[in-house]
Structure 1
Amino acid sequence: MSFKPTRRRDQRMMGRALALAGLNQGLTGANPSVGCVILDARGHLVGEGVTGQGGRPHAEEVALDDAGARAKGGTAYVTLEPCRERSSGAASCSNKLVSAGIARVVVAIEDPHPTARDGIRILKDAGVRVEIGRGKLRAARLYAWFFRSARA
């Protein structure tokens, strides 16, 4: 990464990701509506996405498709921990972020769902710098319904 991340930029980008997540709230079936913003290695916004209506595609997939090769060495801001595995058998969001060469992932809140939790571990094991908690209170309110169902 050639730019130095700042708390202010992190707050602004996570705010944008949370705003994106709000766009499809209630339209994603059993899946939560997640927002994802990607900055390139120089700190320029190159991709953003929200979970699709019905729950697919995931926000990280949309943002990575938007960013393309410009994601390499960049930062992803994700409102909910990227999934560890997919029920469809497709590559998980955590693995897609690793494959894209993302250097840093800022996550608002961890995901208690059994197929999602430990996505952070996959990122860290691959050498991705992970920071958790930026926007956590707002994300906790956004996902309260999902967290109740994920723990049931």
Structure 2
Amino acid sequence: MARNIGMAAASASLTALLLSGCTAPPIPTPPPVTITATVTATPAPEPTAAPAPPAAEPAPPAEPVPNAPAPVVEWGPAYDVGATTGANGTPVTDGNGMPVSYTVVEGDHFFDIAQRFELPQQQLLRMNPQIHDFGETVYIGDVINLDWTKTG
């Protein structure tokens, strides 16, 4: 056991001796540095010239001039091409046989009535201001004016 202790002590001494050469030399401390601060006053800013006035804004563009409204071209008198699906009633005619009015019957549609009498739907609506919803709702018994010389 004494031999083991002696051996350990010798090994520790040898390790210490070997490692002593591995240490870095001490870092020298630099000499103290003296800093001198000099304070100078900030110069006052020199006045500058007044800013130039902003450039005049360009004039707004001229207002657009609307075109004249498109002329409303009426197609002329209604002409009966005969009963069709959606326009089955009998029109009232004048002395010359020209249709002047039409009474809505069951199953009629305003668009089909306009087609039967060869009139644009918008013109037939202008001729019949009592018809609402662009002709979507017509009722049995409604009288549709077909005489383009009379409105309402």
**Normalised TM-score (structure 1):** 0.21
- What TM-score do you get using the length of structure 2 for normalisation? 0.21
Please tell me whether Structure 1 or Structure 2 has the larger radius of gyration of its CA atoms: 2
Q: Tell me which protein shows more strand as a share of its residues.
A: 1
